[in-house]
A and B are shown apart, each in its own frame.
Chain A
Amino acid sequence: MNSPVVTRGLVKTFGHVHALDGLDLEVHAGEVHGFLGPNGAGKTTTIRILLGLLRATSGHVEMFGGDPWADATALHRRLAYVPGDVTLWPSLTGGEVIDLLGRLRGGADPARRAELLERFELDPQKRCRTYSKGNRQKVALVAALASDADLLVLDEPTSGLDPLMEAEFGRAVAQERDRGRTVLLSSHILSEVETLCDRVSIVRAGRTVESATLPELRRSRRTVVTAELAGPPRGLETLDGLHDLEVHGTFVSCRVDPGRLDAVLHALTGAGVLSLTSRPPSLEELFLAHYREEVAV
């Protein structure tokens, strides 16, 4: 499979500061890829390297098989970008900015532009200096979504949107994926990534700590199990791979290591199960677990 974005061992230093310290990222064609990390982890630096605005200090980086620094102009025909902190020309109107960006890329579909303006409830006649942060973000989003670029690079695109618009954004991204586009979505809003993304990469301090599909991630992590039993449980304490066990009479809750679920369920059914919930870890738990581990190390 040819991947639109590949980086291996990407390093970027600013003076003594290591913004990226060997970052690996691979975005497959046609997927929505979540790029996760807290502030300062290096997400925006990575994106700016991918856009050819910064030059990597070392490491391998390619976009559509080309070098984002040397072939920037040609590659940019195939992508559209929404910056995290959208600034626009104060004296231009939103509509003018959308048209300008579309035309620089070779023209956008006017019907699609009108549809997106409606969906995002954006007034294109206002000067950009009078837009709120959320509205500036909508301008950039409409411009990007109205383009026919193969790859959408979205850097925390919903940080200024209200919940209704956030939901609209989610629907729009899902549609783009269905149309065959690839999306690189940098975010720290985990629920958004959880609903939208096929695969995620989690970065910390300029390094990728995990890169997998959500089911894979979940399988590699502890499952939360709660149950109400017919009688007091027996033998749970001695089981391997069981954590945070709490027993209140016939109520049991615990977290189970990957691959141990079967043994735990056997022990529970031995006591007779009245009700059972088994929940995979949320992305938030996965994310926090990574950070706790790393901090502990």
Chain B
Amino acid sequence: MKFLKKENFEAFAKKISRENDIFYPEQTNGSYRWKKNEGESFSLEGHRTVLPMKYFFFPPGENLKEKERKPAVIFGARGCDLRGLALLKKIYLEEPEDIYFRKDILIFSADCTSAHKDCFCAALGDEPWAEEGFDLNFSFARDGYIVEAGSDKGSEILKNNSGLFEDASNARKREILEVRQKTKETVLKQNGGKNIKPAVIAEKIEKNTDVLAKYAEDCVSCGACTNVCPACFCFFLSEGENNKIRYSDSCQYPGYARVAGGANPRKEMTPRFKHRFLCKFFYRPAMQEIKGCTGCGRCIDGCQGGINFMDVLADIAGAAE
């Protein structure tokens, strides 16, 4: 672990920007949105962005052909984004690999120092900081950042910029725990101290179709929940003029699973609504060994029907066997 003084952060970012496009979470009206850096100063405090990080890796409506572009560095990715990315990588990079899923992006994640009102990661047993999947992670000490390398590329960057970094003292390392704990408590508190076990959800979904059906009454099949989810990966492959195009798609759309003959296993709302929970808590853990929910709460924020997905999970978890 290294220590980066606050006043050295800008010099570090400038140096990185020489060979990379830099993206970071910009705060506007209390929300965070991804922004391309044009040389302005920025900081890493705050919480997850409105849109997930995933679209840097597979932008909606992408023309699937070779592109010339600078590699990118994403500053300020959050733990939820990285947990989502871990699943996306398993899906997209498994053989045969999707060669258009970007691999030239470095991730410089940062601990959350605040929480969006819908964040519930800690209530789901996850942490409001990244534990793996980053190249560098930035944690907050009083007068700067504690920086941890999570990959060979990250270690190399620290080595190449050794003039800007110093060794982190144990006292400073302890300081980051205070920030982490405070954010975690905020998340737990705003979720009433709930402790939802993903494995319990997986077991109980099938037996609680009636609970899901009740919530599904408010669903308007708009697909916002899947579009803003950092772990949802579905797309529709379409024909472009000289290449294929990968459009975002949603299992919540009525025609999603329909075949040409007209058969549709999920034409009704409740099976579609249930499918999303089964996918996240049962199917993906069974097949990819990663759950498909990160507790970021973006689906709650985006839901046009006002469905609180954390409440759905809490109801299923608390329901009778």
A and B from one complex: no
Q: Which residues from chain A sit less than 8 Å from chain B, CB to CB?
A: none
Q: Which residues from chain B sit less than 8 Å from chain A, CB to CB?
A: none
